[in-house]
Structures are given as C-alpha cells and as structure tokens.
Amino acid sequence: MKVSITVNGAPREAEVAPNTLLVELLRGSFGLTGTHVGCDTSQCGACTVRLDGKAVKSCTVLAAQAEGCEVTTIEGLGAPGALHPLQAAFQETHALQCGFCTPGMIMGALDLIESGERLDEASVRAGLDGNYCRCTGYHNIVRAVLLAAGANA
C-alpha cells in the first residue's frame, strides 16, 4: 500500500506493508535516522516524533495511520548554525552524553513547552517520564527544558 505523508514540511510517499511502523518508514524509507529505536515496545521514548503537532512514540504507530498527516522529526527542527531553542538549550546545559535519547527527549519536550503550562522541575520530570536516558541522570535535561521554556533553570 502507498502512504502519503508530509515530513518536515515536504510531501513524501512510500510503499509500505500494512504492519510497517512509522519509525521504520522514517528511518528506512526516508533515511531520517535521527529518530532512534531503543526498545520497540513503547517504553523508552527514543522514537518520539510529532504527528500533527503532538508527540507520539513512532514505534507504536503504523505507517498507514500517518496517511495524510504531518510528521516532524528532529531533522525538521533546526540545523547546524540555526538550532531550535530546545536544541541550543541542550547544548548549553550539557544535557546529553551519548545522545541516543536526545532526539526523542527534544520532541517530547516540545509538547511540554507548547502546552503553555507553567513548567518547573517536577512538571518537566513528570512530562518526560516516558523518555529514558541511560547516561545523564536527567538533571541537565530538566535544566535544558526549563531554559528553553524561559523558566528559571
């Protein structure tokens, strides 16, 4: 079957099987390997992308379910020299080590920032509890999100 999706602002099409996952489509067919696969069981959040403006774990969404939707991946957020404020905040606060979790963290954190909710350490930790990091201990990730949100980090 064919799926037509807008990915990072550009129309894309691909042939997929009915059981192809969105993350497989993004990484395999479209070469967008910034979206990572950590667990494949909807736990780690490494595969988080935005689907019609909301964070989803792309290992739990079928490619066919994204038909006609807008998908944003980490590659669509910023670029070297023109980082998104969240990317810049992660860099400034040293919020990553190996970087495996970082794209998913940032895509998940976007929802938090755009929610309009007043963020503090507790709400950021709660909001990102579906995103695992095995390196940093989370402290600087929380600082980065608060910095990008304009809250006191």
Task: Using CB under 6 A, list all residues that contact ligand FES.
Answer: 37-40, 42-47, 57, 59, 96-101, 133-136
Cα separation, 22 vs 121, in Å, equals 31
Smallest separation (angstroms) from ligand FES to the CB of 90: 10
- Terminal-residue alpha carbon distance, the chain: 47
Q: Which is closer to ligand FES, CB of 13 or CB of 39?
A: 39
Q: Which is closer to ligand FES, CB of 10 or CB of 133?
A: 133
Report the candidate in 34, 43, 26, 71 with the shortest Cα–Cα distance to residue 131.
Answer: 43
* DSSP-based three-state secondary structure for 23: helix
Across-strand partners of 13? 4
Q: Which is closer to ligand FES, CB of 13 or CB of 94?
A: 94
